[in-house]
Amino acid sequence: MIVHATHLSSVLGNYKLLIWSALLLVVTSIAWQTINSWYRLRHVKGPFIAGFSNLWLIRHVSGSTMHLDLAEVCEKYGRVHASSLFSQNKSLIQTTTGSIARVGHDTLVTSDPNLMRRMLAVRTPYKRSDWYDGMRLDPSRDNVLSERNDEKHNELRAKMAAGYSGKEVENLEKTIDRNVFNLVQLIEKKYLSTESDFKPCDFGRKAQYFTLDVISDVAFGEAFGDIATDSDVHEYIKTTEETLPAIIMTTVLPWLLWLLSSPLLKSLLPSEKDQLGLGKVMGIAKQVVGERFGRNKKIQNDMLGSFIRHGLTQKEAESETLVQILAGSDTTATAIRATLLHLITSPRVLSTLLAEIRKAAPSSPITDSEAKEMPYLQAVIKEGLRIFPPVTGLMSKVVPPGGDTFNDIFLPEGTKIGYCAWGIFRNKEIFGEDVNVFRPERWLEDFNPVEKIRERELTLELIFGYGRWQCLGKNVAMIELNKVFVELLRRFELEIVDPTKPWHSFNVGIFMQSEMWLRASKRDEIL
C-alpha cells in the first residue's frame, strides 16, 4: 500500500509539474509576443494600452464618436512632417502633412493624405487588411468591399465598372430625377408648415428614404417605396442601426466571423427568409437576381443588367446587389444631411447659393450638367464632404513584405495602417486655420491660389477612396448631391427646429442619423 501511495504521489507530482510547465510556457509565449508586438512599433506613439493590445480600438469602435477619437489620437500622439507633392501640371506643392499614431498592438492610424495616396495607389504593394473581412454581409462569401485578393477584386470591379459609371444604365439621370421629385412632393404634401400649422419633418429619416429609393431604383429598376409610403418599408434602417456596431466590431476582431459562421450561431444572422430588416433586403436581392437568370430571363438596362452582361454570376450578383444598397444609401444620406445642416445654419453661405440658383435659373429638375456649371454649388458640395466626411472607418491596409519607410518613419511589414478621416479633412496646413468653419469659398479661385485649391482637391479625392480602391458608386452619389440641394432650397425655406440639438448622430465608421427635425415652409416663388 505504501509503495502504491508513493507511486501515486509521484504521478500526481509529475502531473502538476507538467501543468505548471505548460502554464509557464503559455504565459512566457504571451509575454514574449506582447513585448515583441510593443517593440516593433515602439517608435510610434499612442495610448499606453495600444502598445500591448487592441483594447483601445475595441473600446472606441464600440462607442459613438470613433471619428473624433481617432482624430484626437493623431493630434495628441502623431508626428507631423513637412512634405511635398506634384500637381497635375507638374508644379511643386509644398504641404505639411498629417501624422501617424498607434491605436493597437499591430495597428497604426494616419491623418497624412500623402501616406493614404501611397497606400491606395493603383500599383501599391500595400494590401487590404483583415479589417475588410468584417464587410462580408454573408460570412461565407466575399464581395467587392471585402475581397482581399487583388486579382479577384480587380475582376469584380471590371465586371461592374460600366454599370456604376452609368454608361450602360438607361435613363440614369431621369431615374434620380424621379426620386428627387418624390422627395419634394412628400414635403409639399405632408410637411409644409405655416404660421398657424406646424408640421415638423425628420429629415434625418427622409434623406435615407430618398437614397434607398434612388439606389434600389437605379440598381434593379424598382424603388423600395420608402418615400411613397413615408416609412422604412422593410425596416432596413432600423435593423442596420441595431446591427452596425456588431458588424464594425468584426473589423477589429475578425475571428468573430468564424464564430458567426458556425452552425450554432448562423441562425442568428439575417436570412433571406426574414420578413423585415437586412434579411428581407437579401431576399429581395435574391428574387430580383433570380428573375434575370431564370428560364424566362428578364432583361433590363439597369445596373444589375450591366453587371450580368459583363459576366457577374448569379451568386455574385446577389451579393453585389446587397452591397449596393448598404454602401449606396447610408453614406450618401449622411452627405445630404450634413451639408444641408451646415447650409441652413450658415446664413451667408445659404444666401450666396440662393443668389447663384436665381441667376443660373436651371431647369426643374436641375440637370447634372447644369449643376456642374454652378461654381458655388460645387464649392458647397465639396465643403460639405470635407467638413463632415461620410465614411470614417479604419479601412486599414497592410505594410508589404520588407516594410516601408515614410517620412523617416519605418513601418514594419505586416503592420496595419488605418484612415483618420476627421484628421485629414481638418488639417489646418491644407485647408486653412478655419477648418471648423463651413466656408465654401476655400474651394474658389477668386479667394485662393490655384495651387492651394489643387492641393485641397487632391486631398478631397480620398473621400471616395483612391486609385485601386476608389468607390464605384461615386458617380451616382455626385449626381444625387448635384440635384437635391437645389431642388429643396429653390422651393422651401428650411429651419432647424431645435438649434441646440439639431440631430441624433452616432458613428461606428459610418454615421447613423435621425431626429433631424426641420420646419419647411414654401417660398413665395420658386427660384
- Binding-site annotation: residue ranges: 471
C-alpha to C-alpha distance for 418 and 236, rounded to whole angstroms? 28
Smallest CA-to-CA distance from 257 within 136, 117, 123, 393 is with 136
SS3 readout for 256-269: HHHHHCCHHHHCCC
Answer for the pair 135, 146: CB distance below 8 angstroms, yes or no.
yes
* 83: amino acid identity, one letter: S
- Which amino acids are annotated as binding site for heme, given as ranges? 471
Q: How many CA atoms lie within 13 A of 225 on its CB side?
A: 5
End-to-end CA distance of the chain: 105
C-alpha to C-alpha distance for 362 and 38, rounded to whole angstroms? 59
Detail the DSSP E strand segments found in 63-178.
82-86, 92-96, 100-102, 107-110, 127-128
Grid coordinates 447634372 are at which residue?
368
The stretches of 361-405 forming alpha helices (DSSP H) are 368-372, 375-387
* 499 preceded by a cis bond (ω within 30 of 0): no
* 298: amino acid identity, one letter: K
Answer for the pair 73, 101: CB distance below 8 angstroms, yes or no.
yes
